[in-house]
Amino acid sequence: MFLTRLLKPTVTASAHCDLPCGVYDPEQARIEAESCYKIIEKYNASNDEQFKTRAIVIKEKQAELAKHHIDVLWSDYFKPEHVQKYPEITELCWKAAKQCSKVKGSLDLGEARTLLDMIDKIADVWTKAGGPQATRVQKAVAARA
Protein backbone atom coordinates (compact mmCIF):
# COMPACT_ATOMS: atom_id res chain seq x y z
CA MET A 1 0.00 0.00 0.00
CA PHE A 2 2.79 2.35 1.02
CA LEU A 3 4.78 1.36 -2.05
CA THR A 4 1.82 2.02 -4.32
CA ARG A 5 1.39 5.46 -2.81
CA LEU A 6 5.09 6.13 -3.22
CA LEU A 7 5.17 5.08 -6.87
CA LYS A 8 1.92 6.67 -7.90
CA PRO A 9 2.55 9.44 -10.43
CA THR A 10 2.04 12.96 -9.18
CA VAL A 11 1.53 14.55 -12.58
CA THR A 12 -1.37 13.64 -14.84
CA ALA A 13 -1.16 13.91 -18.62
CA SER A 14 -4.07 13.48 -20.94
CA ALA A 15 -3.72 11.22 -23.94
CA HIS A 16 -7.10 12.57 -24.96
CA CYS A 17 -8.39 9.56 -26.76
CA ASP A 18 -11.86 8.53 -26.03
CA LEU A 19 -14.60 6.48 -27.52
CA PRO A 20 -17.02 9.27 -28.21
CA CYS A 21 -20.72 8.51 -28.24
CA GLY A 22 -20.97 11.16 -30.95
CA VAL A 23 -23.70 13.15 -29.21
CA TYR A 24 -22.72 16.81 -28.89
CA ASP A 25 -25.07 19.68 -28.20
CA PRO A 26 -24.30 23.16 -26.82
CA GLU A 27 -27.60 22.91 -24.98
CA GLN A 28 -25.80 20.86 -22.32
CA ALA A 29 -23.51 23.80 -21.60
CA ARG A 30 -26.42 26.24 -21.81
CA ILE A 31 -28.45 24.43 -19.18
CA GLU A 32 -25.51 24.56 -16.77
CA ALA A 33 -25.01 28.24 -17.58
CA GLU A 34 -28.72 28.91 -17.04
CA SER A 35 -28.37 27.22 -13.63
CA CYS A 36 -25.58 29.68 -12.80
CA TYR A 37 -27.75 32.60 -13.92
CA LYS A 38 -30.74 31.51 -11.85
CA ILE A 39 -28.60 30.68 -8.82
CA ILE A 40 -27.08 34.19 -8.88
CA GLU A 41 -30.62 35.64 -9.04
CA LYS A 42 -31.68 33.54 -6.07
CA TYR A 43 -28.49 34.39 -4.19
CA ASN A 44 -29.14 38.11 -4.60
CA ALA A 45 -32.76 37.73 -3.47
CA SER A 46 -31.94 35.75 -0.34
CA ASN A 47 -31.05 36.82 3.20
CA ASP A 48 -30.39 33.28 4.37
CA GLU A 49 -26.64 32.93 4.86
CA GLN A 50 -26.72 29.16 4.74
CA PHE A 51 -28.68 29.22 1.49
CA LYS A 52 -26.26 31.75 0.04
CA THR A 53 -23.27 29.58 0.91
CA ARG A 54 -24.90 26.58 -0.73
CA ALA A 55 -25.77 28.69 -3.76
CA ILE A 56 -22.11 29.63 -4.23
CA VAL A 57 -20.95 26.02 -3.95
CA ILE A 58 -23.55 24.79 -6.43
CA LYS A 59 -22.95 27.65 -8.89
CA GLU A 60 -19.23 26.87 -8.93
CA LYS A 61 -20.00 23.25 -9.73
CA GLN A 62 -22.43 24.15 -12.52
CA ALA A 63 -19.95 26.65 -14.03
CA GLU A 64 -17.30 23.94 -14.08
CA LEU A 65 -19.74 21.60 -15.83
CA ALA A 66 -20.53 24.28 -18.42
CA LYS A 67 -16.80 24.62 -19.04
CA HIS A 68 -16.47 20.87 -19.42
CA HIS A 69 -19.27 20.71 -21.99
CA ILE A 70 -17.76 23.58 -23.99
CA ASP A 71 -14.38 21.87 -23.85
CA VAL A 72 -15.87 18.61 -25.14
CA LEU A 73 -17.59 20.40 -28.03
CA TRP A 74 -14.39 22.19 -28.91
CA SER A 75 -12.02 19.29 -28.70
CA ASP A 76 -14.25 16.42 -29.77
CA TYR A 77 -17.04 17.74 -32.00
CA PHE A 78 -15.50 20.58 -33.98
CA LYS A 79 -13.12 19.16 -36.55
CA PRO A 80 -10.53 20.92 -38.75
CA GLU A 81 -13.04 21.20 -41.59
CA HIS A 82 -15.43 23.05 -39.27
CA VAL A 83 -12.65 25.37 -38.14
CA GLN A 84 -11.75 26.03 -41.77
CA LYS A 85 -15.35 26.90 -42.61
CA TYR A 86 -16.17 28.72 -39.36
CA PRO A 87 -12.80 30.02 -38.09
CA GLU A 88 -14.53 32.04 -35.37
CA ILE A 89 -15.36 28.83 -33.48
CA THR A 90 -11.92 28.50 -31.89
CA GLU A 91 -12.10 31.93 -30.29
CA LEU A 92 -15.77 31.50 -29.37
CA CYS A 93 -15.06 28.28 -27.46
CA TRP A 94 -11.90 29.64 -25.90
CA LYS A 95 -13.60 32.80 -24.68
CA ALA A 96 -16.68 30.92 -23.49
CA ALA A 97 -14.51 28.52 -21.47
CA LYS A 98 -12.77 31.50 -19.89
CA GLN A 99 -16.15 33.11 -19.21
CA CYS A 100 -17.17 29.96 -17.33
CA SER A 101 -14.24 30.58 -14.98
CA LYS A 102 -15.40 34.17 -14.52
CA VAL A 103 -18.92 33.04 -13.69
CA LYS A 104 -17.50 30.45 -11.33
CA GLY A 105 -15.84 33.14 -9.26
CA SER A 106 -18.44 35.87 -9.62
CA LEU A 107 -21.90 36.75 -8.39
CA ASP A 108 -22.46 39.24 -11.19
CA LEU A 109 -25.59 38.42 -13.16
CA GLY A 110 -24.11 40.24 -16.16
CA GLU A 111 -21.23 37.75 -16.35
CA ALA A 112 -23.70 34.86 -16.39
CA ARG A 113 -25.72 36.61 -19.13
CA THR A 114 -22.54 37.08 -21.17
CA LEU A 115 -21.81 33.37 -20.86
CA LEU A 116 -25.30 32.48 -22.13
CA ASP A 117 -24.82 34.77 -25.14
CA MET A 118 -21.43 33.18 -25.88
CA ILE A 119 -22.88 29.67 -25.73
CA ASP A 120 -25.68 30.79 -28.09
CA LYS A 121 -23.06 31.93 -30.59
CA ILE A 122 -21.36 28.52 -30.35
CA ALA A 123 -24.79 26.93 -30.86
CA ASP A 124 -25.28 29.01 -34.03
CA VAL A 125 -22.05 27.60 -35.48
CA TRP A 126 -22.94 24.11 -34.29
CA THR A 127 -26.29 24.39 -36.11
CA LYS A 128 -24.68 25.78 -39.27
CA ALA A 129 -22.13 22.95 -39.13
CA GLY A 130 -24.99 20.43 -39.24
CA GLY A 131 -24.74 19.56 -35.55
CA PRO A 132 -28.41 18.75 -34.94
CA GLN A 133 -28.55 16.21 -37.76
CA ALA A 134 -25.03 14.86 -37.28
CA THR A 135 -25.02 14.39 -33.53
CA ARG A 136 -28.51 14.05 -32.09
CA VAL A 137 -30.83 11.08 -32.17
CA GLN A 138 -34.03 12.33 -33.72
CA LYS A 139 -37.25 11.94 -31.79
CA ALA A 140 -39.87 9.56 -33.09
CA VAL A 141 -42.78 11.41 -34.71
CA ALA A 142 -45.20 9.95 -32.17
CA ALA A 143 -43.07 11.22 -29.27
CA ARG A 144 -43.12 14.73 -30.71
CA ALA A 145 -46.89 14.91 -31.05
Residues forming the site for another protein (CB under 8 A)? 7-9, 11-20, 75-76, 78-80, 83, 94
Cβ(24)–Cβ(82) below 8 Å: no
Q: Which is nearer to another protein, 3 or 143 (CB)?
A: 3
Rounded alpha-carbon distances, angstroms, from residue 76 to 34, 37, 54, 79, 94: 23, 26, 33, 7, 14
User: In the bound complex, what is the minimum distance in angstroms from residue 50's beta carbon to another protein?
Assistant: 34
Nearer to another protein, 51 or 94 (CB): 94
Nearest to 36 by CA among 92, 116, 96: 116
CB 16 → another protein: shortest distance, Å?
5
Shortest approach of another protein to residue 107 CB, angstroms?
25
